[in-house]
C-alpha cells in the first residue's frame, strides 16, 4: 500500500517502501518486455547501453557505475561476450584489465532494445510523471542520487 504524508511530515519508512516497490515493479516489467522482444533482461540491457555510451570501459567502470560487485559484473560481461555482443581487448595501460566494446551485433541489439525500453517506460509512467509534480519527482531523485554518489554511499563492500 502506498505511503501517505501527514501534517507536512514525510513518512520515511513509507517513502522507502514506495521507492523500492516502484523500482522493483518497473524493473520486472521492463525485464519481461525486453526478454519477450529481444531475448535479454534489464541488467543486460543496462550493461550494453553503458558500453555503448562509454566505449572502452573496464569491468570496474561498470561495477562502479551501477554500484554492484566486480565479480557479478564480470560474470554478466562473460555472458554478453558468449553471445558475441561484447568483446574484451587488452588494456594497453594496464595489462591486468581488459577494455570492453560492443560488437556490431551488440550495438544493433542495444539500439532496438532501447526503443522497447523507452516505449515501455513511457507506457508505465503515462499520466504519472506528466506535469509539475512529475518534473519535481525526477529532480528530487536526481539530486538524491547525486548526493549518494558524491558521498560514495551504498557501494558494495567487497
pLDDT of residue 6: 62
Domain boundaries, the chain: 12-150
At residue 115, the 3 state secondary structure works out as helix
Enclosing H/E stretch for 119: helix 104-125
pLDDT of residue 37: 98
pLDDT of residue 95: 86
pLDDT (tens digit, 9 = 90+) per residue, 51-86? 999 999 999 999 999 999 999 999 999 999 999 999
pLDDT of residue 155: 86
CA distances from 15 to 5, 30, 114 (A): 9, 22, 29
Task: Out of 3.10.129.10, 1.10.10.10, 3.30.70.2860, 3.90.420.10, select the CATH number for domain 12-150.
Answer: 1.10.10.10
Distance separating the N- and C-terminal Cα atoms of the chain? 35
Q: Which residues of the chain have pLDDT under 50?
A: none
Q: How far apart, in whole angstroms, are the C-alpha atoms of residue 68 and residue 116?
A: 25
Amino acid at each position: 500500500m502506498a505511503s501517505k504524508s501527514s501534517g507536512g511530515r514525510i513518512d520515511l519508512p513509507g517513502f522507502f517502501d514506495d521507492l523500492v516497490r516502484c523500482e522493483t515493479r518497473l524493473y520486472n516489467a521492463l525485464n519481461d518486455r525486453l526478454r519477450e522482444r529481444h531475448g535479454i533482461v534489464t541488467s543486460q540491457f543496462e550493461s550494453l547501453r553503458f558500453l555503448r555510451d562509454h566505449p572502452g570501459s573496464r569491468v570496474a567502470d561498470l561495477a562502479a557505475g551501477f554500484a554492484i560487485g566486480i565479480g557479478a559484473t564480470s560474470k554478466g560481461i562473460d555472458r554478453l561476450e558468449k553471445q558475441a555482443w561484447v568483446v574484451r581487448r587488452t588494456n594497453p595501460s594496464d595489462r591486468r584489465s581488459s577494455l570492453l566494446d560492443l560488437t556490431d551485433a551488440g550495438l544493433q541489439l542495444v539500439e532496438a532494445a532501447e526503443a522497447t525500453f523507452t516505449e515501455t517506460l513511457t507506457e508505465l509512467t503515462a499520466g504519472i510523471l506528466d506535469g509539475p509534480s512529475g518534473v519535481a519527482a525526477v529532480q528530487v531523485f536526481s539530486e538524491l542520487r547525486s548526493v549518494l554518489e558524491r558521498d560514495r554511499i551504498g557501494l558494495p563492500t567487497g
